[in-house]
Amino acid sequence: MTNPSTRERALAALAALAFGFVIAGANSINPLLPMLRVEVPLGPLGVSLTFVAYVSAAVLTLLVVGFSRVRVSPGAAVVVALLVAACANALLASPVDWQILAGRAATGIAVGLATGGAAGLVVEALQGRGRGLAATGNLVGAVVGTAIAQGVAAVESTAGVTLMYVTGAGVSLLLAVALLLLLRARAGARVPQGEPPRSTTDAAPSHRLTRADVGTILRAAIVWTGLSAGVVYAPTIFADAAMPAAQFAGSVTMLVAAAIAQLGSAPLGRLFPRASGHLAFAVGAALAVTSVLTTSNALAFIALALVGGGGAVAYRTSLVHLTRGAAPKLQSVLASKFAVATYAASASAVLTIGLLGGVLPTEIVLAAFATLLSLAALLMHWRAPRLRDLSG
């Protein structure tokens, strides 16, 4: 295997950056929900719909791109994703209920296009490397988006929200232009003069998931559901429990722990080769319930760090295990199927929480949900892939 050229490395880096930026925008609204509940206003179902609109659009896009006759090259998918993300940011810049939901749906389309597209583009550019991009980009992007939005939420200014999303729209357009220029330069370098360019719309290879594949995806879906519910509901539930420190820094703590676990997977594998991530996630989910019952900010931080770190390890090991050895086009297909399943599971769970929260106290619903996730994660640990089994 030859080393990738400087242009290919730059293309991979820009694709990864673009994917992370799209994910950052997708996660930026969650810290703002306590403020938007008052400004818009939004009830428990409305809060859930901000997530469900996003995930439903992402899943539909993934289904169209990955499982229909519609074929989009990875590079084109990422460029279009950035353009759609710019439109989404423009919609979210105004705190009006229908624009928020429309903006979230547009964000879902952008994420759906970028997920498989960026994965395929990076693996192709790096000649088989970078298979953990979807997992790492998801969580690192979530950290950045949540942290920036948390700073805006601390100011409690709708003008700050508008500025954040207008800036996001501008950055999306700049990234789209830069990526398009790199793609055109690569296409020009690859095609000799007088030779027609190869088609970029060849059908992606088909792949039927085995029973083992389904089990791998199920293990990831359980932890991704917990991470998603934590991102959506942590600021709100801690605000209702009068835990201001956990309200403003809990989600960031969870996502930073997730990012550290993702980026430090190699040393973690040497220190804890038998770890799957599910046990840490299970303990964290149980401690999260205890922290709310005891109104302990310190315990909440420990719980969310375990949920984030354990969930990230479990999610990444599942994705890498599923896609190991796949060619770039098959990598894109598998990453899309993986995302469809995990996003659909998290959307269903968050919608159910919102519906039940309309008739029962939200804290009771979330406590029961976290308890079930903890038990499920314990069961999933026994046959889950371990860090020692994976090489990257």
Instruction: Find where tokens 């791998």 sit.
Output: 216
What's the whole-number mean pLDDT along residues 324-330? 68
Q: What is the DSSP string of 316-352?
A: HHHHHHHHTT--HHHHHHHHHHHHHHHHHHHHHHHHH
What's the whole-number mean pLDDT along residues 363-374? 94
> Residue 246 pLDDT more than 70?
yes
* Gap between the Cα atoms of 269 and 389, Å rounded: 9
Selected residue with higher pLDDT from 117 and 309:
309
The alpha carbon dihedral of 370, 372, 375, 376 has a sign of negative
Burial tier of 115 (Cβ tally within 10 Å: 0-12, 13-18, 19+): buried
**pLDDT value at residue 307:** 96
**pLDDT value at residue 134:** 58
Q: What percent of the chain has pLDDT over 70?
A: 87
* DSSP H or E segment with residue 54: helix 44-67
Question: Residue 223 — very low, low, confident or very high, per pLDDT cuts 50/70/90?
Answer: very high
* Gap between the Cα atoms of 356 and 44, Å rounded: 9
Selected residue with higher pLDDT from 230 and 7:
230
Question: Residue 309 — very low, low, confident or very high, per pLDDT cuts 50/70/90?
Answer: very high
**pLDDT value at residue 199:** 45
**pLDDT value at residue 3:** 65
* Gap between the Cα atoms of 138 and 315, Å rounded: 10
Please write down the HEC assignment for all residues of 11-23: HHHHHHHHHHHHH
How far CA 282 is from CA of 276, 376, 377, 379, 380, in Å, comes to 11, 8, 6, 10, 10
CB 103 within 8 A of CB 51: no
Total count of residues recorded for the chain = 392
CB 82 within 8 A of CB 175: yes
- 15-69 tens-digit pLDDT: 888 988 999 999 888 888 888 877 777 777 788 888 889 989 998 998 887 666 6
pTM reported for the whole predicted model: 0.74
* DSSP H or E segment with residue 154: helix 133-155
Which stretches does DSSP call E strand in the chain?
none
Q: What percent of the chain has pLDDT over 90?
A: 35
The long-range contacts involving 334-338, CB below 8 angstroms and separated by at least 24 positions, are 334/207, 335/115, 335/116, 335/119, 335/120, 335/134, 336/62, 336/65, 336/66, 336/67, 336/115, 336/116, 337/62, 337/66, 337/67, 337/207, 337/209, 337/217, 338/134, 338/217, 338/220
Selected residue with higher pLDDT from 106 and 156:
106
What's the whole-number mean pLDDT along residues 314-323? 87
| Amino acid of residue 312 | A
Selected residue with higher pLDDT from 304 and 198:
304
Q: Which domains does the chain have, with CATH numbers?
A: 6-194+208-389 (1.20.1250.20)
Instruction: Find where tokens 């890498």 sit.
Output: 320
* Gap between the Cα atoms of 22 and 78, Å rounded: 10
Which tokens in the block code for residue 76?
A: 């084109």
Question: Residue 2 — very low, low, confident or very high, per pLDDT cuts 50/70/90?
Answer: low
**pLDDT value at residue 129:** 61
**pLDDT value at residue 31:** 83
Question: Residue 128 — very low, low, confident or very high, per pLDDT cuts 50/70/90?
Answer: low
Question: Residue 197 — very low, low, confident or very high, per pLDDT cuts 50/70/90?
Answer: very low
> Residue 311 pLDDT more than 90?
yes
The long-range contacts involving 353-362, CB below 8 angstroms and separated by at least 24 positions, are 353/48, 353/229, 353/233, 354/44, 354/45, 354/47, 354/48, 354/49, 354/52, 355/45, 355/48, 357/44, 357/45, 357/48, 358/43, 358/44, 358/45, 362/44, 362/233, 362/236, 362/237, 362/240
Of 170-174, 260-264, 277-281, 329-333, which gets the smallest average pLDDT?
329-333
Q: What is the mean pLDDT of the chain?
A: 84
* DSSP H or E segment with residue 108: helix 97-125
